C-alpha cells in the first residue's frame, strides 16, 4: 500500500502535465478548425517527393517534365 | 470535338449548352466545360499542377462568376493604405496580415486547392483556411506581392475572397472559445482524476480496517486537484450567480454556485479537521458537465453570429465619386451626404441615396428577396447593397455610416441575438422558483436537524443540496437539444436558436413565403410561342444573340437557353426597364416587354397578354411579330409532396406572398393549399401571423428575403432557405442549408422526438428528486450516496438524450 504514496503524486503530476499540454494546444490554435485537418492528410500533395524510379506507372497521366530530373 | 446534349460540365456539373466548345485537357483527356469561366478556372488548376483537386472533391464546384477586367482592377484598390487601415495588421517583420471571407468552399478539397495555390505565390508567407468557418488568414510580404494579386489568384481558381475586419467579432469569438476550452480542459482532466481517487475513498467507508492516514492523504490530493476546477473552471458560475443576486434575481447559477461553493468548503473543512466526508468528486463532475453543455451552446451562438458578419460584404469597400465631372475612386467610409457617386452597370450601390441622373434596373434581391429587378428613375431612392443592372446611375448620397439601411439591419441583428427568446425567459423564471424552493427546503432541513442532531446537520443539509441539485434537471433540456441539433445539422438543417425545436413541436400553422421557398426563385424558359413562320430553335438563337450583352436577369435566362446565332449586330440600344433594339443585316429587331415590342411592330400581339402568371418577352422584326417567350419560376421538386405530408400531419398550411394574385393562385392550386393571400407587404404578413397567434395558433414561418426578416422574427419559429439572404439566416431560428424541403419534415419529426425525450428526462429528474429529497432530509442518505445518485441520474438523462443521435 505504501507505494500509493509515490504513485498517486506521480498521477497528480501527470494530470498537471496533461492540462499544460492541453492549454498549449489550445493556445497554438489546434482547436480552431476541428474538421479541416482530418481531410488534409488524405490529400496527396507529396507525389513530387517520391523518387522517379520508385513511382508506380500512372495510366492516364502524360509524362510530366520535371525540372530536377537527373 | 463534338458533344451530346446530356453532357455536364466537368468543373461545375451544370449541363453544357449545345454547341459550346470549351474543353480542358485533364490528365490527357479532354473534359467538357460549360462556359468560359469554368474553362479558365479549370485551366488554372491544371497549370498549377493541382489536378488531384478533382480526385478529392466531394461534388461539383461552384460555377465561377465571370470577373470583368474592370472588376479585377477594382481589387487593386485593396492595396491602398487608406483602405487597408481597417483590416490589415503589420507585424514587427513588416509583414502584413489580413483575414478573408472565402466564398465557394464546398468541401475539404477546396481548402487544399486554395492553400496550395496561394502558398505557391512568391511573397505569401502564410495562408491558412479554416474549413469550419470558411475564413482564411493570409500573411504576406508587401515588397514582393500585393494583396490584390492574392485576391486575383484566388479568383483565378474560381473562389471569391473579401477582406474583412476581424477585430469586430472574430477576435472576440476566438477569445471566448479559447477561454471556454481551457476551462473545459481543466474541469475535465481534474474531474477524471478526482473521480478516480473517489473510488478508494468510497470503498474505505465500509471497510473497518482502512488506514486513516491513507484516507487523509487521498483527500489532500483530491483537494489539490479540485481547487483549480472550482476557482478557475467554475469561476463563471460564481460570477453569474453574484450578478443575479445583485439584481435580486434567482438564476439557475445561484444554486449551482451555492452547491459547488458549499460542497467545496465543507470538503476542505473535512480534509483539514478530518471530518466525516469529502465531495470533491461531485464538485468537479458537476462543473464539467455544466461547462460542456455551455460550450456546445456557445458554438451554436457563434455560428449564427458569423452569418451576420457576412452581411457586411454586401457593401463594397470603394466607390466612384464625381468631383466636378472627374471620377475619383475613394473608400466608402469617406463619402459624406451630398456627394455625387457614379455606379456603373454590374456594380453594387455602395451607400443609401437617390438617383440624380440616369434610368436603370436595380436588383434588390439581397435586401428584399424579390427576384426581378426594380426600375429606378431620377429622384427614386436607392439602398446600399443592391446591384445596378443595366445602365450607369449617378446618385446623391443621403445617409452614411451608421444611418444606412444595412447598418440598421446589422444593429437589429446584434440586438436580436443578445435578446433571449421568450421560451428561454420562461425557463429562467421556472428555474428561479425551483431554486427558491430548494433553498427554502435546505434551510428548513438544516434548522430542524440543528435542533435535534447538530452533529449531522451539515452533512444532511449538504445531502439535500446535492441530491436536489438541478444537475439532471438542467441537463435534461440542453443535452437533448444538442443531440437533436447535431443530427439535424448533418441533414443540412442548421438550428441557430436553442428554443427552436421546443417550439417547433408545438406548431399548428405553417406559413410559406412563395418566392424562393416553394419555388426555386429562378426563372426558366417554359414556353415559346412562335407567331411567324420560323423555326423555334432559330428564334431562341436569335433571342440569345440579342440578349447576350444584357445583364438583366430575364435577358440572361434567354441568353443561356440557346447558343447565340452567329450574326453581326450592327447597332444595339438598350432601354432600361423595356428592352433592346438592335440592327442585324440592316433590319431592326426588338426584344423586351410586350408594349415596347408593340411600339415597333405596330399591331397588338396575337398572344393574350393578360396572363401574369409568367413573365412574357416579345420579339419582333420590323413590323412583324416573331415570338413570345414565356418565363416561369418553377416549383421545387419536393414541394407538392412535402406540403401534402404536412397537411396530413394535421398542420394548417398557408401561403403569404408579395406576388400578384394570379401567380400565387397558380402555385397554391398546384400544391393544394386552400388558404393563401397575395400582394402582401411585410406588415400584412406580420399582421396575419399575429392574427393566427391571437386565435391560439403557433406559427412556423418559412421565408428567404430580408423583407421577411421582421416576419421571421414575429413567428414563433422560423426557417430560412440556405440560398436566402444572410439577414434572413440571422433572424431565423433554423436555416435549411440543404435546400431540400423534405428536411423540413425531418425537422418536425425530430422536434417531436426531442420534446418526448425532454419530457422523459424531466420526468426522471423530478421523480428522482422527489424520491431522494425526503430520504436525504430524513438523514438516510449520506452525501456520497447523494453524489452518486445525482451522477447516475445525470448519466441516465444524457444516455437517453443520445438516442436522438442515432436516428
The per-residue pLDDT for range B683-721, each reduced to its tens digit, is 788 888 888 888 888 888 887 655 666 677 778 888 877
Using CB atoms and an 8 Å cut-off, which of residues 180-239 of chain B contact chain A? 181-182, 185-186, 189-190, 192-193, 196-197, 211, 214, 217-218, 221, 224-225
Sequence-separated (6 or more) residues with CB below 8 Å from residue B260: B230, B234, B237, B238, B283, B286, B287
Selecting from B111, B217, B225 the residue whose C-beta is nearest the C-beta of A15 gives B225
Are A15 and B182 inside 8 Å of each other by CB? no
Contacts of A33 in chain B (CB under 8 A): 130-133
Query: Is the pLDDT confidence value at B226 over 90?
Result: yes
Q: Does B174 touch chain A (CB under 8 A)?
A: yes
Query: Is the pLDDT confidence value at A41 over 80?
Result: no
Query: What pLDDT, on the 0 to 100 scale, is given for residue B456?
Result: 75
Q: B722 pLDDT band (50/70/90 cuts)?
A: low
d(CA B444, CA B93): 67
Q: B595 pLDDT band (50/70/90 cuts)?
A: confident
Query: What pLDDT, on the 0 to 100 scale, is given for residue B229?
Result: 93
Query: What pLDDT, on the 0 to 100 scale, is given for residue A19?
Result: 92
Query: Is the pLDDT confidence value at B415 over 60?
Result: no
CB B544 within 8 A of CB B563: yes
Query: What pLDDT, on the 0 to 100 scale, is given for residue B223?
Result: 93
A-B Cβ pairs (cutoff 8 Å, strict): 86
The per-residue pLDDT for range B144-185, each reduced to its tens digit, is 888 888 988 888 888 888 887 766 677 788 888 899 999 999
Phi, psi of B359, rounded to the nearest 5 degrees: -130, 135
* Count of other CB atoms within 10 angstroms of residue B67: 17
Q: What average pLDDT does chain B have?
A: 78
Query: What pLDDT, on the 0 to 100 scale, is given for residue B231?
Result: 94
Contacts of A42 in chain B (CB under 8 A): 56, 108
Are A18 and B189 inside 8 Å of each other by CB? yes
Q: Does B82 touch chain A (CB under 8 A)?
A: no
Are A22 and B189 inside 8 Å of each other by CB? yes
CB B619 within 8 A of CB B589: yes
Query: Is the pLDDT confidence value at A58 over 60?
Result: no
Are A26 and B185 inside 8 Å of each other by CB? yes
Query: What pLDDT, on the 0 to 100 scale, is given for residue B207?
Result: 60
Are B182 and A62 inside 8 Å of each other by CB? no
Query: Is the pLDDT confidence value at B629 over 80?
Result: yes
Are B217 and A22 inside 8 Å of each other by CB? no
B633 half-sphere exposure, CB direction, 13 A CA radius: 20
DSSP B295-350: HHHHHHHHHHHHHHHGGGGGS-SEEEEEETTEEEEEEGGG--TT-EEEE-TTPBP-
Long-range contact pairs involving B83-90 (C-beta distance under 8 Å, separation at least 24): B83/B317, B83/B318, B83/B331, B84/B147, B86/B165, B86/B333, B87/B163, B87/B164, B87/B165, B87/B166, B88/B147, B88/B163
Query: What pLDDT, on the 0 to 100 scale, is given for residue B1?
Result: 40
Are B28 and A62 inside 8 Å of each other by CB? yes
Query: What pLDDT, on the 0 to 100 scale, is given for residue A14?
Result: 92
CB B636 within 8 A of CB B667: no
> How open is the CA angle B298-B802-B787, to the nearest 5 degrees?
80
Q: According to the per-residue pLDDT averaged within each range, which of A3-7, B60-64, B274-278, B623-627 is highest?
A: A3-7
Phi, psi of B361, rounded to the nearest 5 degrees: -90, 140
Angstrom distances, CA of residue B217 to CA of B211, B225, B376, B459: 10, 13, 82, 21
Query: Is the pLDDT confidence value at A21 over 90?
Result: yes
Are A44 and B52 inside 8 Å of each other by CB? yes
C-alpha distance from B130 to closest chain A C-alpha (Å): 6
CB B299 within 8 A of CB B481: no
Q: Does B637 touch chain A (CB under 8 A)?
A: no
CB B96 within 8 A of CB B89: yes
CB B630 within 8 A of CB B525: yes
Pick the closest to residue B491 from B208, B796, B807 (CA basis). Answer: B807
Query: What pLDDT, on the 0 to 100 scale, is given for residue B182?
Result: 93
Q: Which is more confident, B594 or B422? A: B594
The per-residue pLDDT for range B449-483, each reduced to its tens digit, is 888 887 777 777 777 776 766 666 666 666 677 67
Contacts of B132 in chain A (CB under 8 A): 32-36
Contacts of B224 in chain A (CB under 8 A): 12
Give the three cell numbers for residue B794: 445525470
Query: Is the pLDDT confidence value at B225 over 80?
Result: yes
CB B686 within 8 A of CB B703: no
The per-residue pLDDT for range B87-112, each reduced to its tens digit, is 788 888 888 888 888 877 777 778 88
- List residues of chain A with CB under 8 Å from any CB of chain B: 1, 4-5, 8-9, 11-12, 15, 18-19, 22-23, 26-27, 31-36, 38-40, 42-45, 47, 60-62
Residue of B nearest to A38 (CA): B108
The per-residue pLDDT for range B310-327, each reduced to its tens digit, is 655 666 777 888 888 788
Least confident stretch, B144-148, B297-301, B440-444, B498-502: B297-301
H-only helix segments in B548-610: 553-561, 594-601
Contacts of B197 in chain A (CB under 8 A): 8
Residue of B nearest to A39 (CA): B108
Pick the closest to residue B494 from B177, B732, B757 (CA basis). Answer: B732
Q: How far apart are the first and last CA of chain B?
A: 49
Active-site residue (options: B277, B281, B352, B513): B513
Contacts of A44 in chain B (CB under 8 A): 52
User: B141 an active-site residue?
Assistant: no
Least confident stretch, B66-80, B395-409, B654-668: B66-80
Find cell 446611375 and name the residue: B393
Rounded mean pLDDT, B401-415: 66
Residue of A nearest to B180 (CA): A26
Percentage of chain B lying above the pLDDT 70 cut: 80
C-alpha distance from A34 to closest chain B C-alpha (Å): 7
ipTM of the complex: 0.71
Query: Is the pLDDT confidence value at B420 over 60?
Result: no
Contacts of A35 in chain B (CB under 8 A): 108, 131-132
Query: Is the pLDDT confidence value at B432 over 70?
Result: no
Are B225 and A12 inside 8 Å of each other by CB? yes
Rounded mean pLDDT, B103-126: 83
Amino acid at each position: 500500500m505504501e507505494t500509493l504514496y509515490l504513485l498517486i503524486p506521480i498521477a497528480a503530476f501527470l494530470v498537471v502535465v496533461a492540462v499544460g499540454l492541453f492549454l498549449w494546444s489550445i493556445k497554438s490554435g489546434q482547436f480552431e478548425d476541428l474538421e479541416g485537418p482530418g481531410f488534409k492528410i488524405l490529400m496527396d500533395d507529396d507525389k513530387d517527393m517520391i523518387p522517379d524510379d520508385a513511382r508506380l506507372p500512372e495510366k492516364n497521366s502524360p509524362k510530366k517534365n520535371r525540372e530536377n530530373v537527373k | 470535338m463534338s458533344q451530346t446534349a446530356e453532357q455536364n460540365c466537368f468543373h461545375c456539373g451544370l449541363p453544357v449548352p449545345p454547341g459550346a466548345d470549351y474543353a480542358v485537357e485533364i490528365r490527357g483527356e479532354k473534359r467538357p466545360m460549360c462556359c468560359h469561366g469554368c474553362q479558365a478556372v479549370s485551366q488554372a488548376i491544371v497549370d498549377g499542377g493541382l489536378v488531384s483537386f478533382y480526385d478529392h472533391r466531394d461534388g461539383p464546384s461552384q460555377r465561377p462568376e465571370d470577373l470583368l477586367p474592370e472588376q479585377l482592377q477594382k481589387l487593386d484598390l485593396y492595396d491602398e493604405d487608406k483602405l487597408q487601415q481597417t483590416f490589415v495588421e503589420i507585424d514587427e517583420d513588416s509583414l502584413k496580415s489580413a483575414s478573408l471571407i472565402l466564398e465557394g468552399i464546398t468541401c475539404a478539397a477546396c481548402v487544399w486547392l486554395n492553400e496550395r495555390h496561394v502558398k505557391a505565390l512568391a511573397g505569401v508567407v502564410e495562408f491558412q483556411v479554416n474549413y469550419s468557418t470558411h475564413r482564411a488568414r493570409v500573411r504576406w510580404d508587401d515588397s514582393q506581392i500585393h494583396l490584390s494579386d492574392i485576391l486575383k489568384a484566388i479568383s483565378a481558381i474560381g473562389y471569391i475572397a473579401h477582406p474583412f475586419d476581424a477585430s469586430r467579432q472574430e477576435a472576440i469569438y476566438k477569445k471566448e472559445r479559447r477561454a471556454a476550452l481551457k476551462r473545459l480542459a481543466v474541469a475535465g482532466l481534474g474531474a477524471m482524476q478526482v473521480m478516480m481517487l473517489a473510488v478508494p475513498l468510497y470503498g474505505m467507508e465500509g471497510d473497518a480496517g482502512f488506514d486513516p492516514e491513507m484516507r487523509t492523504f487521498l483527500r489532500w490530493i483530491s483537494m489539490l486537484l479540485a481547487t483549480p476546477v472550482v476557482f478557475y473552471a467554475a469561476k463563471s458560475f460564481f460570477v453569474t450567480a453574484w450578478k443575479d443576486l445583485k439584481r435580486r434575481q434567482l438564476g439557475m447559477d445561484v444554486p449551482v454556485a451555492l452547491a459547488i461553493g458549499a460542497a467545496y468548503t465543507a470538503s476542505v473543512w473535512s480534509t483539514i479537521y478530518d471530518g466525516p466526508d469529502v465531495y470533491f468528486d461531485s464538485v468537479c463532475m458537476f462543473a464539467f458537465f455544466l461547462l460542456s453543455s455551455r460550450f456546445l451552446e456557445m458554438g451554436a451562438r457563434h455560428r449564427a453570429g458569423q452569418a451576420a458578419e457576412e452581411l457586411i460584404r454586401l457593401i463594397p469597400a470603394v466607390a466612384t465619386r464625381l468631383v466636378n465631372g472627374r471620377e475619383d475612386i475613394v473608400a466608402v467610409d469617406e463619402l459624406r451626404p451630398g456627394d455625387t457617386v457614379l455606379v456603373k452597370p454590374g456594380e453594387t450601390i455602395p451607400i443609401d441615396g437617390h438617383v440624380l441622373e440616369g434610368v436603370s434596373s436595380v436588383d434588390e434581391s439581397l435586401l428584399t428577396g424579390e427576384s426581378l429587378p426594380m426600375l429606378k428613375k431620377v429622384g427614386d431612392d436607392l439602398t446600399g447593397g443592391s446591384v445596378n443592372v443595366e445602365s450607369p446611375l449617378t446618385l446623391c448620397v443621403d445617409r452614411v455610416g451608421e444611418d444606412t439601411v444595412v447598418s440598421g439591419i446589422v444593429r437589429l441583428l446584434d440586438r436580436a441575438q443578445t435578446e433571449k427568446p421568450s421560451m428561454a425567459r420562461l425557463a429562467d423564471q421556472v428555474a428561479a422558483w425551483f431554486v427558491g424552493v430548494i433553498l427554502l427546503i435546505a434551510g428548513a432541513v438544516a434548522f430542524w436537524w440543528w435542533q435535534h442532531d447538530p452533529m449531522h446537520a451539515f452533512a444532511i443539509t449538504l445531502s439535500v443540496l446535492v441530491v436536489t441539485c438541478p444537475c439532471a434537471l438542467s441537463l435534461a433540456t440542453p443535452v437533448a437539444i444538442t443531440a437533436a441539433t447535431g443530427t439535424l445539422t448533418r441533414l443540412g438543417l442548421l438550428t441557430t436558436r436553442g428554443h427552436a425545436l421546443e417550439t417547433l413541436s408545438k406548431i399548428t400553422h405553417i406559413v410559406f413565403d412563395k418566392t424562393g421557398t416553394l419555388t426555386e426563385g429562378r426563372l426558366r424558359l417554359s414556353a415559346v410561342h412562335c407567331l411567324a413562320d420560323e423555326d423555334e430553335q432559330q428564334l431562341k438563337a436569335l433571342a440569345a444573340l440579342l440578349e447576350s450583352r444584357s445583364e438583366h436577369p430575364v435577358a440572361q435566362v434567354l441568353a443561356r437557353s440557346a447558343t447565340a446565332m452567329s450574326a453581326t449586330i450592327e447597332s444595339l440600344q438598350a432601354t432600361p426597364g423595356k428592352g433592346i433594339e438592335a440592327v442585324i443585316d440592316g433590319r431592326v429587331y426588338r426584344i423586351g416587354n410586350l408594349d415596347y415590342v408593340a411600339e415597333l411592330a405596330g399591331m397588338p400581339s396575337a398572344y393574350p397578354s393578360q396572363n401574369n402568371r409568367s413573365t412574357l418577352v416579345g420579339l419582333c422584326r420590323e413590323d412583324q411579330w416573331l415570338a413570345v417567350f414565356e418565363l416561369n419560376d418553377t416549383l421545387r421538386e419536393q414541394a407538392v409532396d412535402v406540403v401534402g405530408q404536412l397537411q396530413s400531419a394535421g398542420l394548417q398550411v398557408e401561403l403569404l406572398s408579395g406576388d400578384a394574385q394570379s401567380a400565387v393562385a397558380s402555385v397554391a392550386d398546384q400544391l393544394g393549399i386552400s388558404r393563401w393571400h397575395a400582394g402582401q407587404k411585410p406588415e400584412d404578413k406580420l399582421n396575419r401571423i399575429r392574427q393566427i397567434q391571437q386565435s391560439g395558433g403557433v406559427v412556423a414561418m418559412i421565408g428567404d428575403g430580408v423583407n421577411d426578416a421582421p416576419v421571421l422574427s414575429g413567428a414563433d419559429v422560423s426557417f430560412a432557405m440556405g440560398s436566402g439572404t444572410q439577414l434572413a439566416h440571422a433572424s431565423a431560428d433554423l436555416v435549411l442549408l440543404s435546400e431540400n424541403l423534405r428536411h423540413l419534415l425531418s425537422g418536425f419529426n425530430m422536434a417531436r422526438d426531442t420534446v418526448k425525450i425532454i419530457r422523459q428526462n424531466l420526468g426522471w429528474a423530478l421523480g428522482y428528486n422527489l424520491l431522494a429529497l425526503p430520504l436525504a432530509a430524513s438523514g438516510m442518505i449520506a452525501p456520497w450516496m447523494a453524489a452518486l445518485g445525482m451522477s447516475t441520474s445525470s448519466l441516465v438523462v444524457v444516455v437517453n438524450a443520445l438516442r436522438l443521435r442515432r436516428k
